[in-house]
Amino acid sequence: MERTYSTVSGQTWDQIAYEIYGDEHHCDILMDANRELLDYFVFPAEITLQVPDADIKRNDTIHSDYPEWRAALDG
């Protein structure tokens, strides 16, 4: 069952992944589930993210619709 998460101003994808999954490297799970929000690097307050269950496996593929900063981090 998917749940949601409301951001706090100043949070980043990896900080949220660490808080939810206990591992900042799982930010790709959040990013894949929230593609419409990929332009954010630092979130404003109260953005609602869809949070997939933790048993979803990581996907190390960089998708073409990732913003440049995301591709640079993985490249």
Q: What is the pLDDT of residue 32?
A: 95
Q: Which residue has the higher pLDDT, 53 or 34?
A: 34
And the tokens for 74?
A: 């993985």
Q: Does the pLDDT of residue 75 top 50, yes or no?
A: yes
Answer yes or no: are the C-beta atoms of 2 and 52 closer than 8 Å: yes
Q: What is the residue-averaged pLDDT of the chain?
A: 84
Predicted TM-score of the model (pTM): 0.70
In angstroms, how far is CA 54 from the centroid of its own chain? Answer: 13
> How high is the pLDDT of residue 35?
97
Show the tokens assigned to 58. Answer: 């990581």
12-25, pLDDT tens digit by residue?
Answer: 999 999 999 999 98
